Amino acid sequence: MAQTQRVVVFSTPTCVHCTNVKRYLKQQGIRFKDVDVSRDSKAAAEMVRKTGQQGVPQLWINNRPVVGFDRTKIDTLLHLK
């Protein structure tokens, strides 16, 4: 069921929490699009416009935002637990 979810991760290469959230998604078998906001200024601006937050990681799960590595919210939105 989780594979039908649309997941986008906004991250930077030096962000430890970004690495951890991507590792967690991979461990759960969740496919995701990784957007490096340090290289994509348009994506970074869109991320801030939608959430009002500049920090990463940010995830969009079926167009619903998750700011930070909030495992409980991620699991709920992906119907993992």
Q: Does the domain at residues 2-77 carry the CATH identifier 3.40.30.10? A: yes
Q: Concatenate the DSSP letters of all residues of 3-62 into one string.
A: GGS-EEEEE-TT-HHHHHHHHHHHHTT---EEEETTT-HHHHHHHHHHHS---S-EEEET
Q: Is the separation of the CB atoms in 10 and 4 below 8 Å?
A: no
| pTM score above 0.85 | yes
- Tell me the pLDDT tens digit for each residue of 4-62: 669 999 999 999 999 999 999 999 999 999 999 999 999 999 999 999 999 999 999 99
Domain extents for the chain? Answer: 2-77
Tokens of 8: 């986008």
